[in-house]
Structure 1
C-alpha cells in the first residue's frame, strides 16, 4: 500500500486487506471469476476467526459490498434498458442479438448477487462469532448502514441482513443515547454494548467452510496460465507464435 500508512495492523488484518484489494482489482480490471471465487472462499473460511480488525480493513470489507451494490444497480439498469429495446425492435435478427445481450446481463446480475451474498455472509460470520472483538467493524457498519437499504427485502439477502440489521439497530440505539459523539466515546459505547449484546437474538447460519477441489489434470490450465503471466510480465521478447504451450492452452479452452 502506497496511499496510506497502516499502523498497528496485525499480520492477519494485513492478509485480509491484501485479499480484499485483490478482489476489488480483479472486479474492476481482470474480471477473473476463478480468482475472486477462491479469494472470497479464503476470506469466508477465516471470517469466524476475525478479531480486532483494523479500521481500514473494516472499511474495505464494507466498501467491497458497496462496490458490488453499485455494479448491481448498474446491471439492473442495463437489463431494463435492454428489455425496452427488445420490445421496440421487431426484426428477428435484431431480437436474437438483443436476447444474447440480455442473457449476458442477467448472468452478470446473478454472479454479482452471489458475490454480494458471500460478502454479507462473511460479515455475519465475523459478527456472530467474534462480536466483542470487532468494534471497528460495528462502527463501520453503523457509519455506512444506508448501503443496505435497497437490499433488506431482496430475496437473496433478506435473511442474512436481518442479523446485520439487529446488530446495527442495537448499537445505533446505544450511540443515540450519547451526549458526545466523538469517535472515542462512540467506540467506548460500542465496547460496552458488545459485552451486553444477546447473541441468541441472531439467527444461526452454517459455519462457512469451503474446500478447494482440484480438477483432473489441473496442469492443463495452470502451466499455460503461469507461463502466460511470465510472458506478459517479463521484459524479454518472445514470439508468441513460436510458443507451443500457448497453442496447447488455446486447444484446451476450445474443448
Structure 2
C-alpha cells in the first residue's frame, strides 16, 4: 500500500474519498504536521497502490490499512476518513477498535447503500472495466464532489479534482465501487465507540449533506459536528485551511495531538 507521511508525534491516518487518492490531503498535511504525524495512504487499488486481488469489500480495504499500521509499528492512531475513506475507517473500527484512539469522519455516512445506489455503483464499475475511465468519470463525478462556491469561485479546485479523478486506474475504480456497494451498515459500530469523535461536513455537500452528518454525529457517544461554509463533499481539497483549523482545534482540545 502506497502512502505519504509528514510530521511527528501522534499518528493521524487520513483515508481518501472516491474516486481520488491520498493526494486529496496534500493541502491539509502541511497545516497539521507541526502537531501530529500525518499518514495518507492510497486505498482500494487507487492512486499509486497496487490493484486489489481479493474479492471487493470495504473490510478488505480496512485490512490493508491495518497491515500498513503493523508495518509502521503503530499500535493506536487517530483515524480519519472522507466519504469512502470514512467507510474504510468504520470498517477498521469494526475489525480492531483497540487500534483507534480518536475518530475523524468527513462527508460520509454510516448507513449502507439502498438498492438504487448499489445498482448505480455496479453500473459504474462495469463501465470502468468496459471503457476505462477517461473523460466520462470526471465529467459525471466532479459536479457533485465540489460545492457551489468552488464551481463559482475556485476553478483551480475543480480542475484539481478532475485531474485526480482522471489519474485513477479503471481496475481500482471498479473494485472500490463494488466494495462500497457491498458495505454493511456501520451505525452500531459508531455507537460502541467511546473515544473522541469529530464529524465535519461541507455546508454545500449534496451527497452527504449536513442533516446526514448530524445523524452520523448523533450516533457516536460524545460525537460533535462542524459544518464548513463554502465547501461541498471534499472540504480538505476545497477549503483546506478551514478544515485543518477545525482538526487542529479538536486534536488540542481532546489531548490527541
- Report the TM-score when normalising by structure 2: 0.30
Higher strand share: 2
Highest CA radius of gyration, 1 or 2?
Answer: 1
- Report the TM-score when normalising by structure 1: 0.30
Structure with more contact order per residue of length (Cα contacts < 8 Å, sep ≥ 6): 2
Higher helix share: 1
